[in-house]
């Protein structure tokens, strides 16, 4: 079995810095969205609700997708260009699929929820559903904290493929 091409040490470090920075940014954006969503859901002021959901829209439209894609891409480069591999260790495999799932959920659930909230509030209506502004950030933040924990702890050992590649190495 032929080993994966490995990144040079400087390249690996550069990609790692990009990945950690993008991941931390995604975590911070989610925390910010949760704070704004909580404010929108709990205030009695229509002006504050509108300002909160408009700020959420700004984050969702301009920052979340690029940061999510950068996190996904840099993680993929790291996994394929280092000894960790994409499918050798359960924690790497889990992070990949969770990152892919949360990126997809951001595009197809979080952003549309925020957009519907902005549309309703901009038409001088109330916040239609607090879930539109709270559910996405809560789920995202939970997933990112979980991924951070498994990145640090590296639990669960090798996958079947990882055990097999170890035998042939």
**Interval 102-149: pLDDT, tens:** 999 999 999 999 999 999 999 998 898 898 899 999 999 999 999 999
Q: Which residue has the tokens 């790291």?
A: 78
pLDDT value at position 1?
A: 45
Is 139 in contact with 147 (CB distance < 8 Å)? no
Nearest to 99 by CA among 117, 86, 88: 86
pLDDT value at position 44?
A: 87
Is 54 in contact with 117 (CB distance < 8 Å)? no
Going residue by residue through the chain (169 aa), what tens digit of pLDDT does each one get?
455 568 999 999 999 999 999 999 999 999 999 999 999 999 989 999 999 999 999 999 999 999 999 999 999 999 999 988 888 899 999 999 999 999 999 999 999 999 999 999 999 988 988 988 999 999 999 999 999 999 999 998 888 777 776 555 5
Is 51 in contact with 103 (CB distance < 8 Å)? no
3-state secondary structure of 158: strand
Distance in angstroms (rounded) separating the CA atoms of residues 139 and 156: 23
Residues 6+ away with beta carbon under 8 Å from 64: 26, 29, 106, 110, 111
């Amino acid at each position: 079995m032929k080993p994966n091409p490995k990144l040079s040490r400087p390249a690996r470090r550069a990609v790692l810095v990009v990945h950690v920075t993008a991941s931390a940014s995604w975590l911070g954006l989610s925390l910010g969205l949760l704070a704004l969503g909580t404010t929108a859901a709990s205030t009695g002021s229509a002006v504050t609700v509108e300002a909160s959901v408009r700020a959420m829209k700004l984050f969702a439209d301009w920052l979340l997708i690029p940061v999510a894609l950068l996190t996904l891409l840099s993680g993929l480069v790291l996994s394929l260009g280092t000894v960790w591999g994409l499918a050798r260790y359960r924690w790497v495999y889990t992070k990949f699929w969770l990152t892919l799932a949360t990126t997809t959920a951001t595009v197809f659930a979080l952003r549309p929820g925020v957009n519907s909230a902005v549309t309703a509030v901009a038409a001088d209506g109330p916040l239609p559903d607090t879930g539109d502004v709270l559910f996405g950030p809560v789920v995202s933040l939970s997933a990112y904290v979980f991924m951070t924990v498994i990145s640090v702890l590296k639990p669960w050992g090798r996958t079947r493929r990882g055990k097999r590649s170890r035998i042939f190495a």
